Amino acid sequence: MPPSSAGPEIWRFGAPKFAAAPIITMCIVMVVTFTESTADMLAVGELVEKDLTPNDLARGLGTDALSAFLASFTNSFPNTAFAENVGLVGLTGIRSRWVVTTCGVFLLLMGLVPKVGQIVADLPGPVIGGAATIMFSMVTAVGIQALHKVNFRNTHNLLIVAVSLAVGLVPAFDPSFYDNFPKNFQVIFGSSITATVITVFVLNLVFNEFGPRDQEESAVQLAVDEGAVFPGVADPGSGAP
């Protein structure tokens, strides 16, 4: 029987040692973690109808880095945001940060009771799978909802979505696909979320930032997309009704 209460043991496997190779590897892991966390924060912002500023994202990633730093003292892995929680926000409709904070405190206290962990571990797989299916489906729905803001008249955006979906589905359908690739490559592209976000980021830079505009887009359409012209509203100086 597990004890009624137990706390984490600091540096159970010995004091930390500093070497270049593992530090570089963990930096790559943290880049992957930050990529996933950024996607989760943007999804939550979409759910609660809040446009996140760069400062909001920076504070979120800073919190992520602090939790990863503290986790190293308790023999744990770097922490990251979970997409399931994004789906949970959508299912419950609860948007208060105080509710989330209170739940986090309760989870911390429950983590000090090994018997609670034993109960969670004994939950049947179908129960966990059913709950996860609903929450991940909610995350997918939020992503589809966010795509309605994209201008799909631009064929570049269609290509970006198509290629990123294909790259993201590779590790989901064939987890061994990257087995013969370098380890660092596997760390980054072995995660569907990370692979998709990186692909979208790179292709968006190539096609929409550094590349030429689609020739099929007229100057008027570009002005409408950028908010300089509103369709259906006549110019006051034109004399049009």
The owner of tokens 């692909």 is 199
Would you tell me the crossing angle of helices 20-47 and 83-92 to the nearest 10 degrees?
A: 10
The DSSP annotation for 104-149 comes to HHHHHHHHT-HHHHHHHHTS-HHHHHHHHHHHHHHHHHHHHHHHTT
Tell me, what amino acid is at 178?
Y
Q: What is the pLDDT of residue 162?
A: 92
Would you tell me the crossing angle of helices 114-121 and 97-111 to the nearest 10 degrees?
A: 100
Q: What is the pLDDT of residues 150-175, one digit of tens each?
A: 788 878 888 999 999 999 899 888 88
User: Under a CB-based contact definition with an 8 Å cutoff, are residues 42 and 86 in contact?
Assistant: no
- Mean pLDDT is lowest, of 51-55, 114-118, 136-140, 226-230, for 226-230
User: Under a CB-based contact definition with an 8 Å cutoff, are residues 81 and 64 in contact?
Assistant: yes
Q: What is the pLDDT of residue 229?
A: 46
User: Under a CB-based contact definition with an 8 Å cutoff, are residues 88 and 132 in contact?
Assistant: no
Q: What residues does each domain of the chain span? A: 16-118, 148-228
Q: Write the DSSP symbol of residue 217.
A: S
Burial of 81 (0-12, 13-18, 19+ CB in 10 A): buried
Q: How far apart are the first and last CA of the chain?
A: 82
pTM of the model: 0.59
Question: Is residue 213 pLDDT above 70, yes or no?
Answer: no
User: Under a CB-based contact definition with an 8 Å cutoff, are residues 99 and 36 in contact?
Assistant: no
